[in-house]
Amino acid sequence: MPSKDNSHQTSSLNQQKDSNFLSQFSASDEQKEWFSPTPKGYQKGRTKFVVVIGTVMSGLGKGIFSSSLAKLLKDKGLAVAPIKMEGYLNIDSGTLNPFRHGEVFVLEDGLETDMDLGTYERILEQNLSRRNFVTAGQIYGDILDRERRGDFLGRDVQMIPHVTGTVKMHLRQLAMTGGPNGGPADVVFVEVGGTAGDYENGFYIEALRELAFEEGPESTCFVALTYILEPATLGEQKSKAAQLGIKRLMECGVQPQVIACRATNPVTEKVMQKIGMFSNVPLNRIFSMHDRESIYFIPDAMREAGLDREILSLLQLHNRVNAGKEDQSRRKWSEFSSRLVAPRSRRVTIGVMGKYASLRDAYASIDKAVEHCGIWLNASIDLKWMDTSTLESKADVAAVLQGVDGIIVPGGFGQRGVEGKILCVEYARTTRLPFLGICLGFQMAVIEFARNVLGLANANSTEFDPKTAHAFISELPDQKKLEGIVGASMRLGAQDVAIEPGSFAEHLYKARMVRERFRHRYEVEPQYIDALSKAGLHFSGRHPKHPIMQVLELSASEHPCFVAAQFHPELTSRPTMPQPLFMGLIAAALIRKHPQAAADELISRWLNASAATAAAR
């Protein structure tokens, strides 16, 4: 396979495309104590910044708050560009264990990021790029590469001003190119990972303080996202931890203008008054971000609270609002919201047969893709998370899948749980249980078919048995040259997939060519494709030019819904544009459990969703 189909993630390659921007400022800048490089053509004050910083503890939903607020401004016709700033030294999120950091979300250009980028893409319905994600490893890598080249002209390189200056340069570059078609953004939304007081993100907070000062008044709005405790033994909300967390942020020189209060129940006015008094923030800028049935209710809640108008006033952006665009966007979201609250007449159970099943964040995009389908198909979907490493026999699988209406076998790395996944695929194939395989799930479907239909009991992947006599799954040719470079050894990012006319995949996609996101190192061994096809395993999605299999399926006469993809379809599902392969799975599960679901109502919903998705794609 030609190397143009790979997006290798090494430090140098990661930076050459996007981070040579530091060479844009002149040598004279290096002689100044005031080090604040600016891209050529940058207009100070043209782009505004909204900065969201956490307090008390992490994992409270900074990405949800930031993306929801960004959506409201985007609905008004403003160009928004989010960025997540992580404090870890990894160049990207690709080698992180899902148990530690949730799923790895792959962007169009192949950068492996954390799950918050998925939240931004889904709520904003906007594809992001490597410029929307930065780590401490990237920042330090930029600076150390330049120091080795002698770019600092003998200067001692320090956290301030050089590290903070590099952060500001990243943000200004995004401000210039983060809008539609690479144009300028009206507002950059900055999410700082972790919480105020963490050692690893301190330089980000300092850089943002400097940025606000340099950009001038009405240029930057700081948001503190805090946590309101409600101990069951006390029976009331307590604000002390929130007050102390905000105080810690103010000690960094940052005065928040907006406070988001994360809580289980709506935050009381008494608690808001206490927080406002100790943080110098008026009540109309304190937002109760309490638990809701869906995160998709938060944008409307923010709008009702007037938070979008407050941001426009703080940043002097009222003159950029497009009222017509806002009305159109609100109507579209209102239609979606009405589906959210509509009563669900049918319920199905979908099993997710993974190896990280104990942590739902490991499969966050799958969770959301299923939710989108349920909204469009007017169905309540219960996800049953099952650890395949505990499944050792057909009897085990039959027991755990009792009452399940369809299964998803997701991606993963390493041998643990693999045999359990193969048993699940066999059960789905032989019992006509609706099945969707993703990445590793696609490969497991090939191996299961080879073992149980072709009769090759030792068929395997070289990932799990390098010496197997029947390597139906083997390493991508170009990746073999990169052995040992863990962060650079996969096919990553968006690639074209040619869909075969008349196939089940074409029925779902309503298209002959689609673009989906990949994250894999192994593929179907070409020498076995004919044997698999002749035995009934149909490859309905392929690389447009090379013998790389990307979608497989069984015929309708063999199975109502047996489909798998080498790519990750969950990454491209959006609230108003459900992903076609997931829609096919859920529709098949509905028909299996509720035969009457094949009536006009379900067909109508299916066609409407398919048309919306096809038009958007």
pLDDT for residue 96: 86
- pLDDT score of 256 more than 70: yes
- pLDDT score of 132 more than 80: yes
CATH number of the domain residue 388 falls in: 3.40.50.880
Higher pLDDT, 459 or 7: 459
- pLDDT score of 2 more than 90: no
In what order do the strands lie in the sheet containing 133-135? 133-135, 80-86, 187-195, 48-54, 220-227, 258-263, 286-290
Mean pLDDT of 504-510: 93
Q: How far apart are CA 374 and CA 381, in angstroms?
A: 6
| Cβ neighbours for 38, distance < 8 A, ≥ 6 positions apart | 25, 44, 169, 172
Q: Tell whether 118 and 234 lie within a shared domain.
A: yes
- pLDDT score of 481 more than 80: no
Q: Which of 204, 244, 240 is nearest to 222 (CA)?
A: 204
Q: Tell whether 330 and 367 lie within a shared domain.
A: no
Mean pLDDT of 557-571: 96
| Cβ neighbours for 346, distance < 8 A, ≥ 6 positions apart | 378, 379, 380, 590, 593, 594, 597
Our answer to whether residue 546 is catalytic in this structure is no
SS3 track for 25-53: CCHHHHHCCCCCCCCCCCCCCCCEEEEEE
Residue 31 is assigned to a structural domain of this protein: no
Residue 608 is assigned to a structural domain of this protein: yes
Residue 32 is assigned to a structural domain of this protein: no
Which of 162, 170, 520, 568 is an active site residue? 568
- pLDDT score of 548 more than 60: yes
Which of 261, 373, 424, 439 is an active site residue? 439
Q: Which of 73, 115, 405 is nearest to 221 (CA)?
A: 73
Q: What DSSP element (H or E) covers 86? A: strand 80-86
pLDDT for residue 226: 97
Q: How much of the chain is helix, strand and coil, in % rounded to 5?
A: 45, 20, 35
Q: Tell whether 184 and 156 lie within a shared domain.
A: yes
Residue 9 is assigned to a structural domain of this protein: no
Q: Tell whether 460 and 522 lie within a shared domain.
A: yes
Q: Tell whether 286 and 366 lie within a shared domain.
A: no
Examine the fold and report which residue of 320, 335, 350 is the final residue of a domain before the chain moves on. Answer: 335
pLDDT for residue 617: 53
pLDDT for residue 358: 72
Residue 492 is assigned to a structural domain of this protein: yes
CATH number of the domain residue 231 falls in: 3.40.50.300
Which of 112, 326, 506, 570 is an active site residue? 570
- pLDDT score of 503 more than 90: yes
| Cβ neighbours for 253, distance < 8 A, ≥ 6 positions apart | 206, 209
pLDDT for residue 3: 39
Q: Tell whether 315 and 360 lie within a shared domain.
A: no
Q: Tell whether 153 and 106 lie within a shared domain.
A: yes
Checking DSSP bridges between strand 522-524 and strand 470-475, what pairing results, if any? antiparallel
Q: Tell whether 322 and 466 lie within a shared domain.
A: no
Q: How far apart are CA 365 and CA 14, in angstroms?
A: 24
Examine the fold and report which residue of 314, 335, 356 is the final residue of a domain before the chain moves on. Answer: 335
What's the domain count of the chain? 2
Q: How far apart are CA 271 and CA 418, in angstroms?
A: 50
Q: Tell whether 313 and 379 lie within a shared domain.
A: no
Q: Tell whether 445 and 321 lie within a shared domain.
A: no
Q: In this structure, how many other beta carbons lie within 10 angstroms of the beta carbon of residue 567? A: 27
Q: Tell whether 192 and 324 lie within a shared domain.
A: yes
Our answer to whether residue 424 is catalytic in this structure is no
Residue 107 is assigned to a structural domain of this protein: yes
Question: Predicted confidence band at 317 (pLDDT cuts at 50, 70, 90)?
Answer: very high
Q: Beta partners for 37?
A: none
- Strand (E) positions, 291-434? 346-354, 379-387, 406-409
- pLDDT score of 28 more than 70: no
Q: Tell whether 496 and 454 lie within a shared domain.
A: yes
Q: How far apart are CA 130 and CA 128, in angstroms?
A: 7
Give the dihedral sign, CA 50/74/492/96: positive
Average pLDDT of the chain to the nearest whole number: 89
How far is residue 383 from each of residues 71, 103, 357, measured CA to CA in Å? 28, 17, 11
Our answer to whether residue 439 is catalytic in this structure is yes
Range of the domain at 89: 40-335
Residue 29 is assigned to a structural domain of this protein: no
DSSP symbol at 590: H
Residue 137 is assigned to a structural domain of this protein: yes
**pLDDT, tens only, 427-467:** 999 999 999 999 999 999 999 999 999 999 999 999 999 99
Examine the fold and report which residue of 335, 369, 389 is the final residue of a domain before the chain moves on. Answer: 335
Higher pLDDT, 11 or 574: 574
Q: How far apart are CA 548 and CA 554, in angstroms?
A: 18
